[in-house]
Structure 1
Amino acid sequence: MTDRIDLVLKDTNAGCACCTTSAATDAPASTSAAVTKDVLVDGMTCSHCVSSVTEELTAIDGVENVTVDLNAGGTSRVTIHSAAPIDSDAVKAAVEEAGYAVAGSPA
């Protein structure tokens, strides 16, 4: 019989209690995206946060891919790849639905 060993690994940079392990959540880059839009998002601290925002944004019609440059506890850059321009109000609503706030215009 083989015993299982739980290593209880934890992301030391994680800020929320829901995370016990880290997971890759960025979707693979799409080469067919015609439009790229950067949005700054406040409040994300871990891979679960990235996953939540990514899930809500990819549910918007036309969004092909979302990548996140996580700045744990600060302002993170979220890049949305789409076939056509995405409405800013839809992006803001999706980010807020995930439980975070759009910080402002990216530099």
Structure 2
Amino acid sequence: MSIEFQVPDMTCGHCVKTITGAVNQAAPGATVTVDLPSHRVTVAGAGEADKIEAAIREAGYQPARV
């Protein structure tokens, strides 16, 4: 199962690293794929979308499920 988020305030490599780390902490073993130009984050292998979204928010970003 994949969960996709639009994260408009993700603008640089630091943002990617921060979001990836937050998702990995919330869902160990999940695969995080980031498309920075389109501001999309895809998480595969994580069961709880709400938990992933909360982790991204806690990292300081505003994700929206796609």
Larger-gyration structure (1/2): 1
Cα RMSD of the aligned pairs, angstroms, is 1.7
Residue 63 (structure 1) shift: 4.1
Pick aligned residue for 1:51 from 5, 10, 17: 17
Higher normalized contact order (CA 8 Å, seq sep 6+, divided by chain length)? 2
**Aligned residue pairs: how many?**
66
Q: Give secondary structure in 1 for the equivalent of 2:7.
A: strand
In the alignment, what sits opposite 1:81?
44
Q: Percent identical across equivalent pairs?
A: 36
Q: Which runs of 5+ in 1 are unaligned?
A: 1-34
Residue 90 (structure 1) shift: 0.6
Which structure carries more helix by proportion?
Answer: 2
Pick aligned residue for 1:67 from 29, 33, 52: 33
User: Contact 2:11–2:39 at 8 Å: present in 1 too?
Assistant: no
- Separation in structure 1 between the aligned mates of residue 30 and residue 49 of structure 2, nearest angstrom: 16
**Segments of 4+ moved more than 3 angstroms:** none
1:3-22 equivalences under 5 Å are: none
1:2-41 equivalences under 5 Å are: 35-41=1-7
